[in-house]
Structure formats: C-alpha cells, structure tokens
Chain A
Amino acid sequence: MTLHRGKGFAAINYPIGMNLGGDPSQALVHSNPDGKFMVALSSIDLGQGMKSVTRQIAAETLGIPVGDVYVDTADSDTGPHCMGSFASRGTHRVGNAVIQAALEARSVMLEAAAEELEVNAADLETDGKGNIHVKGAPSRSITTAEACGAAQFKQGKTVSGRGIFLIPMSDVDPDTGEMTPVSCFAHAALVVEIEVDDETGEIEVLEMNSAYEVGRALNPRLVEQQLVGGAWMGMSHALWETTEPNYPDRSHGPRDFNEYVMPGPGDICTHNIAVLERPAEDAPYGGKGPGEMCANPVLPAMANAVYNAVGVRVDDLPITPEKVLRGIRQNGGARPQARR
C-alpha cells in the first residue's frame, strides 16, 4: 500500500442568475404607522441569508436603521412575484428589486417629512439612525416614525414602493449563435491537496486554498459561511454522493437523500479562503452573491488532484474508490504525475 499525494487546480467563471425566458423578481416595501418598514418578497431564505441581505439593502436605501426593517418571505400567493431562490440569483436580482422599491418608499417618506417640516423634500436627508433633517440644519429634524405616522394619519399617504428587476430573455442569433444570457459573472479559483491510497482507492482531502470574487461582500460573515459550507458540498458531490453502484444488489442502495454517503465532520479539511471584492456595476451595492459557485470549483480541482496523485483520469462523478482502483488497475499501477 502506498499513499500518493496530489494537487489539483480549477478556475471558474460563474454566471449569476439564469435566462430561460427572462429572469424577473419583484419586491414591495411599505411602512407601518410606527415607522418600521416591511419588505415583502416571494424569494425564500433557505439559510443562505436572503432575509439578512435584503434587510441590509432595504435599510441602506431607505436610510434607516437595519433594526427598523422586517423581511417577509412567507407566501408566494400573497407576496410579489419572484422566479425563486436558485441560480445564485437572490442577492443580485432580488437585491436590485428591493433597491427600486425602497427608493420609491423613501421618496414618499421624505415628501411626508417635507410637509411636516414645511420645506422642500429635495432639501432633506436621512441620518441612518431614524431621523430625517434639513441638509446643513440638523436641528430642523423629524424622526422617520413621525414622518410615516403623519403620512398615514394626517396626510393620507401610503409610504410604499414597488420594485422589479428584470434581465430580459436574450434570443440567440440564428446566424452566429450569439446571445447575452447573463449580465454578471462571479469568479473563483481553488487548489486542493489530497492523498490517494492505491490499495483501497480511498481519497483523503488534506487542504483547500481558494479565492472567490463575489462583487462586494454585503455580509462578510454570511459570505464566509456559504463559502465554507459550499466547499463541503462540492467535496461531497466530487467524492461521495451516489446511488450507484450497490453490492450485492440494487436493494442495498440508498433510496433517498438521507442515505447518501456524505463526508462527516471528521472528513473536512483546512480551507483557506481569500474573498476578493470587485463591486459589480449592475449589482445591488456591488454584491453578486456566492450561491452555487461555492461548490463548483471543488469538483474539477478534485478530479485534477486525483490525476496528479495516481495518474487516473476519472471523468464522471463522484470519484469513488472503485473508479480510482479500476483506473489504477487499467494503467497497470499508480502513475503519480509531476508534483506542482
């Protein structure tokens, strides 16, 4: 038995969102009489931080404390339309819709404040702490709660806004095949180091080093969390998760997601991550969102590392011990490639 070390590298360009007939998302923002704002979405928070990020975006745009914003993603029957939480589109598509809705609501809030203060709305600014005041004259001030209350109880105005962000469908040019399926790409590069046992075909993942370019990291801790968790999913997809083959017969195989073999807490490795921030022009405050990209570079990097370690090129996933052993046997033994 010999353990062979190998390193694999992969770099990816990852398109944010999708373009199957257009990619719209909507947001509705309104204030309650107490000056708290509600953002209604039909985009679901699966744990990736949709609510946290849209809350931050709404607070930033409205110019109010983040604690004054609530996000409701409860019901796609009563909420505004959204294509959904997939294709890594949430931060980018929904975030842009939230900005548009929040801008409209903000302008009504400022008009209401202007009427109360008897000034021009264009002369007002928010301090992000719950106050609206005249530019250059902070003492001429009203709280956002007072402005929203006055709008609803004195002026008869709804402090609300509608937002939609749409990437329209891009037709394919029949002559050239040219199309513009996406507006925004995120990028990543990853190096993985592994050890392959040439007797059992088992792979131990030793270390990952990666760099992710995600636009502006709107919530750095959530970005970090997604990158770490996503790399685990990539590892699981690359090396573990399958329903095939099963011995001695099919009935011994896993029948649902629950029975997949997945890496446990003892199988994870050191992962050093560099987050590069290049704010994207058409993204909400520059944030693209990491999404599915967290898992993607791990797969090709892992396949390259297996080749580097034992000279076996596995081109279907996952790279199970059986496939590695079959490859080694076919080659007449392990063929470690040059160390990089």
Chain B
Amino acid sequence: MTKKPVQFQLNGDQKATFVDDGQNLLDVLRRGVGDLTPKFGCAQGTCGTCTVLIDGQPHMSCLTLAETVEGKSVTTTAGLENGAELHPLQKAFMEQFAAQCGYCTPGMLMAAKALLDTNPNPTREEVVEAISGNICRCTGYEAIINAILSVAGNSPQRYGVR
C-alpha cells in the first residue's frame, strides 16, 4: 500500500502526515494526528458524530478521503474552545442539558457551528434542517435545538415542565 504525504490545517495548526490509499479523514484525525474529538459512530455516513468542518463546510469525516484535505483547513470540536473558555455553543449545550450520553455531541456542535457561521440568526426550521444529518439516541433533539437557538439569541421552548 502506498503512503501519501498530506498537509492540512487542523484547528489553525499546520499538520503533515502520511495517509494510506483510501484512508478516511476520521481515521487520520483520530489515529494519525491524535485528535479524538470527532467520534467513530457508524462509519457509513448515517449518524453524523464524525462531522468536521472542511474550509467551513460540514463534512462526515468517515466518508471523506483523507488525501482530499490537502491544503485545506479542518476544524474539529477541539478547535472550538479558546483555552479555558468554552465556545458559546459548548456553553449552551452544557447549560441546557443538550447531551445525555454525549456521543453525538461533537457532530451536533460542528453542524451547529457551520449553520451559525453562515446564518447567525436561524429559524427553528433552519436549525432542524442543519442537524438533520446527525442522529441522537438520547435527548429527543429538543434540548439540542433549543441550545442552538439560544446561541442565536432566541429560545422558543417547545416543551415545558410544570
């Protein structure tokens, strides 16, 4: 198997590594350069927990050939926080209990970031559309949608506990 050199930006840092033919980006991120924040879920592009941003666009890293990120910029959940300061989305997910087991959370955060970066004030429907490629098995989505909306400055609660 031939190895190919690949250089890309990971969360602002320059990375250079060798990848196998056909090796996917998720594998290279986790095992090649040691960023464990994108999760391995289904490995077939249905669950979305491996979602990363490539030049600002959300991609499932399990379905992305690693060599295609040559010269590009990759952002993962590890690139969200600024030192000890959490990203507003991370803070909102935490404060609004938008995670139970947390396995979908990295993908949800990246899908939400991709949305808010281009559309800072989305409607509920736009949030739903943006995370529709991400499966959550625990929360029933409501808390996730509300957390994203709260970062965008509005928070229509659709359920209530009396």
Contact = CB atoms under 8 A, between A and B. Distances in A.
Contacts of A233: 137, 140
Contact of B138 (A229, A265, A271, A275): A229
A272 interface: yes
Interface stretch (B2-10, B69-77, B97-105): B97-105
A266 to B, nearest CB: 5
A266 B124 CA distance: 10
A88 to B, nearest CB: 15
Nearest to B158: A270
Interface string A263-277: 011101111111100
Interface in A270-323: 270-275
Interface in A238-285: 258-259, 262, 264-266, 268-275
Size band of the B side of the interface? 20 to 34
A225 B97 contact: yes
Contacts of B135: 262, 264
A137 to B, nearest CB: 41
Nearest to A235: B140
Contacts of B140: 228-233, 268, 271
A177 interface: no
Contact of A265 (B42, B144, B160): B144
Interface string A93-127: 00000000000000000000000000000000000
A248 B99 CA distance: 38
Nearest to B135: A262
A47 B99 contact: yes
Interface in B69-104: 97, 99-102
Interface in A122-143: none
B139 A228 contact: yes
Contacts of A271: 140, 142, 158-159
B44 A232 contact: no
B100 A47 contact: yes
Nearest to B130: A265
A277 to B, nearest CB: 12
B141 A270 contact: no
B162 A266 contact: no
B102 A47 contact: yes
